[in-house]
Amino acid sequence: MAEVLLFHHAQGLTPGVRAFADGIRAAGHTVHVPDLFGGRTFPSIDEGLAYIGEIGFDDMRERGVRIADDLPPALVYAGFSFGVLPAQKLAQTRPGARGALLFHSCLPISGEWAFGPWPEGVPVEIHGMDNDPIFAGEGDIDAAREIVGKVEDAELFLYPGDRHYFADSSLPSYDADAAALLTARVLEFLARV
């Protein structure tokens, strides 16, 4: 069974993120879900991003990275949208990573915003909607395609639709069919890493 460090999105540690983690736990995996916002949740992405901006995106990302210090190195790092920042950084820079699961977001592995090349032997799955204005419209899909083109064990899963947080059952953007397929793919990934 895998051990997962899962980071929430910009609206905070919502009941839907907790439910997603519980679903992974029900399959026998260990899932750590830290609350980077100290209990705060936000009704919109913009309000959550404003809060992150007040703290500082780099500081908030590093808050997530530091959480891994108290956990074993053989982790699968996962993140929803904003949570991809600490998850991807840890997967790329912390020795011992078993894999990465990037939901609704992806960072490039080359250029000024990159954490460096993808580490050899670390599998990755990237999940997003094909018409999501954030994932598809702001370049994340291009970063995902770069990873898939350069990393041996990398897959990009595109779901039909335009919702960003489609796997969070507590938000209006939830898409039950897409979320069920994403969850099935995640469980297959975790069973093999």
Bridge partners (DSSP) of residue 9 are: 12
Least Cα distance to 97 among 114, 72, 76, 124 occurs for: 76
How many other C-beta atoms can be found within 10 angstroms of the C-beta atom of residue 122? 21
In the beta sheet, which residues pair with residue 155?
125
Q: How many CB atoms lie within 10 A of CB 33?
A: 19
What pLDDT does residue 74 have? 97
Tokens of 193: 């890493």
| Residue for token pair 């997967």 | 91
Q: 193: how many CB neighbours lie within 10 A of its CB?
A: 16
pLDDT tens digits for range 78-125 = 999 999 999 999 999 999 999 999 999 999 998 877 898 999 999 999
pTM: 0.96
Which pLDDT tens digit goes with each residue over 60-71? 999 999 999 999
Tens of pLDDT, residues 137-165 = 999 999 999 999 999 999 999 999 999 99
CA–CA dist 18, 31 (Å, integer):
10
Tell me the pLDDT tens digit for each residue of 25-37. 999 999 999 999 9
Check residue 54 and give its pLDDT: 94
pLDDT digits (tens, 9 = 90+) for 6-26: 999 999 999 999 999 999 999
What pLDDT does residue 35 have? 97
Q: Which domains does the chain have, with CATH numbers?
A: 3-192 (3.40.50.1820)
Short-list 70, 69, 52, CA closest to 61: 52
Q: How far apart, in whole angstroms, are the C-alpha atoms of residue 142 and residue 110?
A: 12
